[in-house]
Structure 1
Amino acid sequence: MTPGSAGNEVPDTQDAGVMADKQRRWKVPSEGFVKANWDAAINLNLRMMGIGVIIWDERGEVLAAYCDQKKYVQQPATTECMALWKAMELGRDLGFNRVIFEGDAHTIVKAVNEESEDFLAYRSIVQDAKQMLQQHRNWKVQFVNRNLNEVAHILAKMAISLETEKVWMEDITSCISESIEKDKECMNNVD
C-alpha cells in the first residue's frame, strides 16, 4: 500500500502502475474504494469507437455503467485513452474520491503511469489523465487482463450501435447482467 492524502492508503501497482496479469478472477476493490473498469471498441470500417465503463463498490455491487460512441476515430490507442478519460470524468462527476481504474490497454496504463512522453498520437489525453490523477491522490490506473474486463468490453461493443450516450445508475442494462453475475460468482468462489 502507498500512503494517499489524508492518511488514506492507495493500493500499490507493479511495474510503473501495471498490475501483474497473473490474476485469474476479477476482485472487488479494497475497502473504501470503488473500481472503474473501462474499455474501448473500434470499428475501423465505420470509423467509430465505443466506450464502456462500469463502476463497482467494495461489495461487488454495480454503482454505475456508461457507454457512448465517438465518430471519426481511427487509432486504437486513442480510443483506449478516450475510454480511460471518460471513466475518470465519470468518477469525478459522481464524486468518488478513492478509485481504481482498470483497463486492458497495457500501453495506455503504462503511458499514464510513467514519465515518458513517447506517445505522440494521444499525448494530450494522457497528459489530461495524468493531471486528473495528480488532483485525485487516491486514484490509481492499473492493468487487468481482457477476461477480467469483460463487462466494460461488452458495453464498449454495444456503444458502437447506439445513437446517444447511456448511463445506468440503478437499473443496469440486461445485456451485461449475465457478465455481472458471472463476475460476482467468481468473487464468491475464492480459492
Structure 2
Amino acid sequence: MQNLVFGGNVETGEETIKRVFQTTTKEKSVMFSLLCWGLWMRRNKWVWEKINMSVFGVKHMAINFLSTLNRANARDTQQKNRQIEQAKSWSRPLDGWVKVNNDAACNQEREFVAVGCVVRDASGHFLRAMSNIVRGARSPREVEALSMREALSWIKDRGSSNSVYESDSKLLIDAMDKQSGSSLFHTIVEDCNELAKYYENVLF
C-alpha cells in the first residue's frame, strides 16, 4: 500500500485508515468505509469492464447506499418496536374460550400476599374479576404460583371449562409444564395442576 503524507508526517494507507476510525465520529466512519468501497468498485469497473467512473460517481454511489441502509435500519427498528408493543398488548383467546390474566403482590413486612385475576372473553369484554388476601410471607416465585392457584380455584367453581391462563412469570409457566421438586413453590404448582384437571380444556 502506497505511503501517504498527512500533516507533514508520512504514513501508510493502513495507518491512515486506522487514524480515521480512531479520531472521527461513527457517522463519518461509516461514510469513509462506503467511500473506500466505492473506490474499490470503481477500480473493478475499470479493470474488468474498462468503465471509468468519476469521483462524483463514487461519492454519489456511497451516499445512495448509505441512504438505502438507513431506510432499511429504520424499517427494521419500527418492525421490532411493533413486535414489542404487540407482545405487551393483550391478545384474544379463541372463540368460545375465556382468558384469565392473574398476578400478585406481596408485603413482606406485614406478611401477606394480594392475589387477583381478570377474566375476559374472546372479544376482550370484561366478564368478572377476583381479588384475595393470602396470609404469610412468600418468595416472589411462590407469590406468582399462589396467584395461579387462587385463580384456578375461583374460575373452576364458575364453570369456565375452556380457559387460557396468562401470567407474567415465565418460571411459573415452565414449572406448570415440566418441572418438579419438593419446595413450597413446587407444592403450589402441583396444586395448580390438580385443579387444572377439573377443566375440560385449559392452557397456560
Normalising by structure 2, report the TM-score: 0.55
Following the alignment from structure 1 to structure 2, what is the Cα–Cα distance between the partners of residues 40 and 23?
20
Following the alignment from structure 1 to structure 2, what is the Cα–Cα distance between the partners of residues 45 and 29?
38
2:197 is paired with a residue whose SS is helix
Following the alignment from structure 1 to structure 2, what is the Cα–Cα distance between the partners of residues 94 and 27?
23
Q: Percent identity?
A: 22
Asked if 1:57 corresponds to 2:121, the answer is yes
Structure 2 spans left out of the alignment, 5+ residues:
1-83
**Aligned pairs (5 A) from 1:10-89:** 23-89=87-153
Give CA deviations for 1:138-190 in whole Å, capped at 9, x if unaligned: 1011xxxxxxxxxxxxxxxxxxxxxxxxxxxxxxxxxxxxxxxxxxxxxxxxx
Asked if 1:125 corresponds to 2:151, the answer is no
98, 101, 111: which is aligned to 2:175? Answer: 111
Structure 1 vs Structure 2 CA RMSD = 2.0
Structure 1 residues 49 and 93 mapped into 2: Cα distance closer, same or farther (>3 Å)? same
Comparing both chains, which one has the higher relative contact order based on Cα–Cα distances under 8 Å and sequence gaps of 6 or more? 1
User: 1:133–1:140: 8 Å Cα contact kept in structure 2?
Assistant: no
User: 1:111–1:119: 8 Å Cα contact kept in structure 2?
Assistant: no
Following the alignment from structure 2 to structure 1, what is the Cα–Cα distance between the partners of residues 138 and 129?
25
1:80 is paired with a residue whose SS is helix
How many residue pairs are counted as aligned between the two chains?
A: 121
- Moved beyond 3 Å, runs of 4+: none
Structure 1 residues 130 and 120 mapped into 2: Cα distance closer, same or farther (>3 Å)? same
Query: 1:175 aligns to what?
Result: none
User: How far has the Cα of 1:102 moved from its partner?
Assistant: 0.4
* Amino acid corresponding to residue 194 of structure 2 in structure 1: Q
User: How far has the Cα of 1:75 moved from its partner?
Assistant: 1.4
User: 1:85–1:125: 8 Å Cα contact kept in structure 2?
Assistant: yes
Which protein has the larger Cα radius of gyration, Structure 1 or Structure 2? 2
Structure with the bigger percentage of helix: 2
User: 1:56–1:63: 8 Å Cα contact kept in structure 2?
Assistant: yes
Give CA deviations for 1:77-102 in whole Å, capped at 9, x if unaligned: 11111110111112211100100000
Structure 1 spans left out of the alignment, 5+ residues:
1-20, 142-191
Asked if 1:136 corresponds to 2:136, the answer is no
